[in-house]
Amino acid sequence: MEIYLDTAKVEEIREMAWIVDGVTTNPTLAAQAGRPFREVLQEICHIVRGPVSAEVVAQDEEGMVKEAQELAKIADNIVIKIPVTVEGLKAVRRLKALGIKTNVTLVFSAPQALLAAKCGADYVSPFVGRIDDHGGDGMAVVAEILRIFENYKFPTKVIVASVRHPGHVVAAATLGAPIATVPYPVLQRLFQHPLTDQGIARFLSDWEKVPR
Ligand code: G3P
């Protein structure tokens, strides 16, 4: 499974570039980066050679296509994030014909993902954490989407997004989701287990007792 970093903070990306396969951003994350976004994207695309998602803010097809074309000029690994609206999916069709890759975002249901795949989206991003927040089952939605894509052999890849804890990553991997995008603190937690720390402490203290 590929792991993307869900952040626009260049220092986090620089630190974790050795392990991550791509990066996803959104307008909220761009605001947190606190710098001109084009400049930030240029830097990110230089650090990470895998796909880097950047979201449009226009709401109409024409505006989205125009914005996407501008963003796509930044680097050849830019993927355009488009919300799953009627206008958004029309834009996805147009961008497909133009050879610009898309990641359909704000996906909360299997039918939305199906329509995105039919329109030629390269990626869809179901927001599992936000689904859970609203009393739903985010991973059940991912399972439905994976099944549908498999049934019809859609080449669209699922990016499990809005990941809140390591359990989401494990569930995504167990279902065979090809990609999970994780915030920096969750990525840190994937490495950790208290028994690993305790084990190291014990081995080091026992090593002191070994005659030398
Ligand atoms: O990439 C967007 C998605 O991961 C948002 O996550 O935590 O704001 O629901 P969150």
Q: Whose CA is nearest to atom 6 of ligand 1?
A: 162
How many structural domains are present in the chain? 1
pLDDT, position 82: 98
Which positions are catalytic? 81
Q: Tell me how far the alpha carbon of residue 151 lies from the centroid of ligand 1, in angstroms.
A: 28
The stretches of 6-85 forming alpha helices (DSSP H) are 10-16, 27-33, 37-47, 61-72
Report CA(185)–ligand 1 centroid distance (Å): 13
Q: pTM value?
A: 0.96
18-52 core/surface letters (b: 16 or more CB in 10 A; e: else): eebebbbbbeebbeebeeebeebbebbbeebebbb
Position 139 scores a pLDDT of: 98
Q: Which atom of ligand 1 is nearest to the CA of 81?
A: 1
Domain that holds residue 84: 2-208
At 12 the pLDDT is 97
User: At 36, is the pLDDT very low, low, confident or very high (cuts 50, 70, 90)?
Assistant: very high
Instruction: Take residue 167 and report the two structure tokens written for it.
Output: 């359990």
For position 161, what pLDDT does the model report? 98
d(CA 211, CA 139): 53
Q: CATH code at 9?
A: 3.20.20.70
Specify the range with the lowest mean pLDDT, choosing from 32-36, 117-121, 156-160.
32-36
Q: Quick one: pLDDT at residue 172? A: 98
Q: What is the whole-number distance in angstroms between the Cα of residue 8 and the centre of ligand 1?
A: 12
Pocket lining: 127 vs ligand 1, CB cutoff 6 Å: yes
Q: Looking at ligand 1, which residue's alpha carbon is closest to its atom 10?
A: 162
pLDDT band at 85 (very low <50, low <70, confident <90, very high): very high
